């Protein structure tokens, strides 16, 4: 069996560099803190792994330091796994910074393991990630080669076993104490270790080392956890430079939306609901609920709506991270292209228009109305977003086109009585009892009103005949 | 002052003769009232032209003027109708009585003037929208110009109902409504390439109780 291992030496750095490619960056870790990794710009200034922070800062004044965060790194690793999943499944993430791909399972799709490697590297480099890769007979062998001799496997002719045999024992994942004892035993390279008597090794170092060697040589099968892509989209973007300008969030959001587009496209899904969370330096989070009237999958359709939300946004604090979450995935409808297809297009245009209006004015500010089965006039209608009630009569008694939300007391005398009375009585079942006599009358200035007299004999205007 | 011959007078481009009704290339939608269509240049409500309709009060039958056009749009052409900031709730049972489809109507509520203008512009610019009606106390110079440009771009039918008119900068078609002896007087104050006119429409209550 052939395995391809992808090693990502600087996941955290690459992630931050996405939003700020031109800044010197370094990851710091340990007590006292020291430089763990540095990007090319910082390295050119002389920043080296292992340096104290003060030294690094002296070498490059604007150096941005990122604290090491294994949890975040794992999240980014899973993001990378999700992005290559459509090209190469199954994928096995290897904490904290590697991905293992079963090349034999992908033989029919990609051809030889080296072709697979080329396809995957191409895809990963498009995402501006640093990567080292190697192909090996066993998962552990591929891992060691990728980490310590990534360039050797570029040539198919070279024997991976020979390269492995030449690597030092320190290339393994064993504890430091074991490595030290091996060196004291005079075993410097893996090749020497392979030739050593296994029972002697077990006696001196315990069964773990022998077991590891068996894994490495394929005498024992590795238990691997397969990566399962999440059923929804969630991505998180840390901003290197905190910003309080909503306008400055456009670029990182555009990036997230493009990731979303490729996620949706690969799965042939669309969505009508995005949730954007802006995490601020104060620890608070601002939520932006972006809703679309029609499910979409293109970044260019999401962006104008997101921009409208950003315009409305009042940022009182600096934003340090953005996350985008989409849980509502709908099957992607193929665009209807019928020969005389104007109606379809018309509905799409109206749907896009509704999305824009709702994004700017608010979700509740644009709505439709429909009838509702109730005798009381103020309850005989409802917004369309509520589920439709039972069948409606085809016609109603004479009603005004304008209904007042709150009936107003009548202040002037009616000039002409046109119709009435019509008694409307009901509502004893839900505590909102109504007993009214409705009339239609002409009030001064020629206004035709729908009036009622309640049980107490008071008069109110309830509607106008517009 | 010398006496000019009629031909000289006619040659003056400032003089416009009423007999030469300019045939505007603008498409029109029949208002549904023969007397009104006759007065409107183009034979109906012009598309792509902002219509200002001034009426001081609601409840005088101001919606009736546009009802036949709305019926035409939502039943025959299956187009959406938007009402921006109407003064009261459009009542669905009455809409059904009037032969309209309530599901085709969208009610848009804005918080302030700038938002209302923005929403109206967006709606007028969209050719897929059948009719845009907006309510506002007045329609000022800049707003009228912005909305007129949007209406021209979308070729939509746009009506702004105002309470008080600003005579300084009226939109290309301006009407005023007033009730008189149980009828509704529709005055065409100004229209492009046509004359002002007065016509009376009457809307009896259809169903006696």
How far is CA A187 from its chain centroid?
A: 48
What per-residue confidence (pLDDT) applies to A388?
A: 54
Window 4-43 of B: residues touching A by CB (8 A cutoff) are: none
Contact flag B105-A399 (C-beta cutoff 8 Å): no
What pTM did the predictor assign? 0.63
Match 């100004």 to its residue by tokens.
Answer: B190
pLDDT band at B21 (very low <50, low <70, confident <90, very high): low
β-strands A91-94, A98-102 pairing: antiparallel
Q: List Cβ<8 Å contacts ≥24 apart for B143-146.
A: B143/B113, B143/B117, B144/B50, B144/B52, B144/B169, B144/B170, B144/B171, B145/B169, B146/B117, B146/B121
What per-residue confidence (pLDDT) applies to B204?
A: 62
Contact flag A357-B122 (C-beta cutoff 8 Å): yes
Binning chain B into helix, strand and coil, the percentages to the nearest 5 are: 30, 25, 45
What per-residue confidence (pLDDT) applies to B132?
A: 94
Tell me which residues of chain A have a pLDDT lower than 50. Answer: none
Contact flag B128-A360 (C-beta cutoff 8 Å): no
What per-residue confidence (pLDDT) applies to A380?
A: 84
Which percentage of chain A shows pLDDT scores above 70? 94
What per-residue confidence (pLDDT) applies to B208?
A: 39
Max intra-chain CA distance, chain B: 69
pLDDT digits (tens, 9 = 90+) for A237-281: 888 778 888 888 888 899 899 989 988 888 888 888 889 999 988
Window 345-374 of A: residues touching B by CB (8 A cutoff) are: 345-347, 349-350, 353-354, 356-357, 360-361, 365-371
Is 50 exceeded by the pLDDT of residue B184?
A: yes
Q: How many CB pairs below 8 Å do chains A and B form together?
A: 162
Burial (CB < 10 A; 0-12, 13-18, 19+), residue A296, is buried
What per-residue confidence (pLDDT) applies to B207?
A: 40
- Chain A CB within 8 Å of residue B88 CB: yes
- Chain B CB within 8 Å of residue A307 CB: no
Contact list, A422 vs chain B (CB under 8 Å): 209
Domain ranges of chain B: 48-201
Q: Rounded to whole angstroms, how far apart are CA atoms A19 and A338?
A: 42
How far B13 CA lies from chain A's nearest CA (Å)? 43
Instruction: Check residues B193 and A452 and name the one with the higher pLDDT.
Output: A452
* Fold type of domain B48-201: Rossmann fold (3.40.50)
Window 321-350 of A: residues touching B by CB (8 A cutoff) are: 343, 345-347, 349-350
Q: Rounded to whole angstroms, how far apart are CA atoms A268 and B179?
A: 59
Q: Rounded to whole angstroms, how far apart are CA atoms A133 and A142?
A: 8
B154 Cβ neighbours under 8 A, 6+ residues apart: B48, B124, B125, B126, B127, B129
Q: Rounded to whole angstroms, how far apart are CA atoms A314 and A286?
A: 10
β-strands B157-162, B49-54 pairing: parallel
What per-residue confidence (pLDDT) applies to B158?
A: 92
**Facing A349 at nearest CB: one of B106, B128, B208:** B128
- Asked if residue A92 lies in contact with residue A224, where contact means CB atoms within 8 angstroms, the answer is yes
Q: Rounded to whole angstroms, how far apart are CA atoms B40 and B32?
A: 12
**Facing B80 at nearest CB: one of A350, A420, A448:** A350
DSSP state of B90: E
What per-residue confidence (pLDDT) applies to B206?
A: 47
- Asked if residue B60 lies in contact with residue B177, where contact means CB atoms within 8 angstroms, the answer is yes
Contact flag B90-A369 (C-beta cutoff 8 Å): yes
| Residue ranges in chain B assigned as alpha helix (H) | 6-11, 34-39, 67-71, 92-97, 113-125, 141-154
pLDDT digits (tens, 9 = 90+) for A357-367: 888 888 888 88
- The count of other CB atoms within 10 Å of the CB of residue B21 is 12
Contact list, B90 vs chain A (CB under 8 Å): 369, 401-403
Q: Rounded to whole angstroms, how far apart are CA atoms A189 and A183?
A: 9
What per-residue confidence (pLDDT) applies to A391?
A: 58
A187 Cβ neighbours under 8 A, 6+ residues apart: A169, A193, A196
> ipTM, 2 decimals?
0.84
Contact flag B122-A356 (C-beta cutoff 8 Å): yes
Domain boundaries A233-340, corresponding CATH code: 3.30.1490.100
Whether cis (ω within 30° of 0) applies to the bond prior to B167 is no
B174 Cβ neighbours under 8 A, 6+ residues apart: B51, B52, B53, B54, B165, B188, B189, B190, B191
How far A390 CA lies from chain B's nearest CA (Å)? 15
**Facing A371 at nearest CB: one of B58, B59, B92:** B92
């Amino acid at each position: 069996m052939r395995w391809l291992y992808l090693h990502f030496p600087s996941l955290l750095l690459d992630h931050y560099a996405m939003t700020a490619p031109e800044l010197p960056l370094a990851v710091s870790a340990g007590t006292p803190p020291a430089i763990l990794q540095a990007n090319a710009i910082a390295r050119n200034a002389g920043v080296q792994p292992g340096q104290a922070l003060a030294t690094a800062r002296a070498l490059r004044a604007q150096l941005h330091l990122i604290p090491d965060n294994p949890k975040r790194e794992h999240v980014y690793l899973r993001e990378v796994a999700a992005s290559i999943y459509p090209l190469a499944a199954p994928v096995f993430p290897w904490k904290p910074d590697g991905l293992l791909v079963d090349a034999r399972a992908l033989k029919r799709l990609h051809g030889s393991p080296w072709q697979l490697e080329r396809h995957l590297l191409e895809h990963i480099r498009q995402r501006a990630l640093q990567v080292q890769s190697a192909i090996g007979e066993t998962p552990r062998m591929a891992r060691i080669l990728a980490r310590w001799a990534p360039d050797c496997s570029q040539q198919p002719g070279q024997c991976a076993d020979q390269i492995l045999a030449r690597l030092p024992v320190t290339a393994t994942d064993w504890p430091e104490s074991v490595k030290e004892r091996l060196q004291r035993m005079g075993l410097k390279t893996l090749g020497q270790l392979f030739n050593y008597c296994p029972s002697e090794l077990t006696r001196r170092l315990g069964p773990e080392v022998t077991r590891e060697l068996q894994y490495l040589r394929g005498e024992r099968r590795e238990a691997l956890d397969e990566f399962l892509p999440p059923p929804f989209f969630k991505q998180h973007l840390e901003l290197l430079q905190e910003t309080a300008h909503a306008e400055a969030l456009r670029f990182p959001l555009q990036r997230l939306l493009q990731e979303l587009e490729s996620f949706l496209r690969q799965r042939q899904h669309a969505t009508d609901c995005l949730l954007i969370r802006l995490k601020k330096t104060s620890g608070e989070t601002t939520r932006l609920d972006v809703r679309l009237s029609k499910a979409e999958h293109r970044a260019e359709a999401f962006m104008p709506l997101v921009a409208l939300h950003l315009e409305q946004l009042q940022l009182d604090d600096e934003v340090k991270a953005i996350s985008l979450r989409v849980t509502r995935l709908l099957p992607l409808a193929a665009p209807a292209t019928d020969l005389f297809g104007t109606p379809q297009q018309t509905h799409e245009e109206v749907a896009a228009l509704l999305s824009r209006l709702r994004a700017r004015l608010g979700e509740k500010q644009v709505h439709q109305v429909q009838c509702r089965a109730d005798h009381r006039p103020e309850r005989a209608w409802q917004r369309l977003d509520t589920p439709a009630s039972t069948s409606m009569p085809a016609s109603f008694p004479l009603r005004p086109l304008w209904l007042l939300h709150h009936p107003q007391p009548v202040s002037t005398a009616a000039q002409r009585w046109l119709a009435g009375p019509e008694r409307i009585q009901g509502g004893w079942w839900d505590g909102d009892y109504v007993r009214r006599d409705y009339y239609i009358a002409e009030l001064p200035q020629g206004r035709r009103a729908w009036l009622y007299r309640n049980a107490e004999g008071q008069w109110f205007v309830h509607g106008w005949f517009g | 002052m010398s006496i000019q011959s009629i031909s000289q007078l006619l040659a003056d481009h400032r003089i416009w003769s009423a007999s030469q009704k300019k045939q505007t290339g603008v498409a029109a939608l029949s208002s549904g009232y023969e007397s009104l269509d006759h007065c409107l240049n183009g034979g109906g409500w012009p598309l792509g032209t902002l219509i200002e309709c001034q009426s001081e009060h609601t409840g005088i039958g101001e919606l009736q003027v546009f009802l036949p056009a709305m019926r035409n749009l939502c039943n025959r052409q299956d187009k959406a109708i938007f009402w921006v900031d109407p003064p009261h709730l459009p009542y669905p049972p009455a809409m059904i009585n009037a032969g309209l489809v309530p599901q085709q109507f969208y009610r848009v509520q804005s918080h302030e003037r700038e938002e209302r203008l923005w929403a109206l512009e967006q709606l007028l610019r969209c050719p897929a929208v059948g009719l845009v009606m907006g309510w506002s106390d007045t329609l000022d110079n800049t707003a009228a110009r912005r909305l007129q440009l949007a209406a021209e771009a979308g070729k939509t039918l746009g009506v702004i109902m105002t309470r008080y008119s600003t005579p300084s900068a009226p939109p290309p078609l301006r009407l005023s409504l007033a009730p008189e002896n149980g009828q509704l007087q529709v005055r065409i104050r100004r229209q492009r390439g046509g004359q002002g006119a007065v016509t009376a429409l009457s809307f009896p209550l259809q169903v006696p109780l």
